[in-house]
Amino acid sequence: MLRGCNILHGVHAGADALQDEYRIIAPPAHPQAQKLLVFWNARPSDGIIIGRDVPSRSIANILSNVTIDEPVNGGLDCRVRLAGESIKRRFGRGITGMLMSELFPPNDFRGHLDDAFANIEAGMATVIDSRLSNWPVEKMHLEVVILPVLAPDRVSK
């Protein structure tokens, strides 16, 4: 697996939530998720590189909904390297520097990572439909687009 790739995922976010139920979907329904996939599909042949391709004017209006995560511990977890403003609202605090295992229950973040890494290995984007709720009340409905990106030095760590 390409567990050394960074992951870029865009999130259309809102209020706090307690339970995350998600499923992989295609194609995305949300215009921002669609825009991120158009950006992905137009990527250079050597991939999306942080600093060269992101930030980008073509996706400037959705960058507040983007996080960049770096796989750690051989891909068993990810550290948030950058989180847009709407992501702070979704979690109720800044999450830059935190691990996914600190942000999600174990089964949720493992499932997210396993799905994302399988698609990254295949060179595909992953689109997740996520419903965050305090059952039976839906607090937030969002689409998460997970894409591989490279560090500026193009070296996996």
pLDDT tens track for 35-64: 999 998 999 888 888 889 888 888 888 888
pLDDT of residue 107: 67
Per the structure block, which two tokens stand in for 18?
């307690």
> Which long-range CB contacts under 8 A does 47-50 form with residues at least 24 apart?
47/148, 47/149, 47/150, 48/8, 48/147, 48/148, 48/149, 48/150, 49/149, 49/150, 49/151, 49/152, 49/154, 50/6, 50/149, 50/150, 50/151, 50/152
pLDDT grade, residue 2 (50/70/90)?
A: very low
pLDDT over threshold 60, residue 76: yes
The model carries a pTM of 0.75
d(CA 20, CA 104): 9
Out of 26-40, 86-100, 127-141, least confident range: 127-141
Neighbours of 42 (CB within 10 A): 10
Residue 28 tokens, joined: 């995305």
Domain boundaries in the chain? 6-149
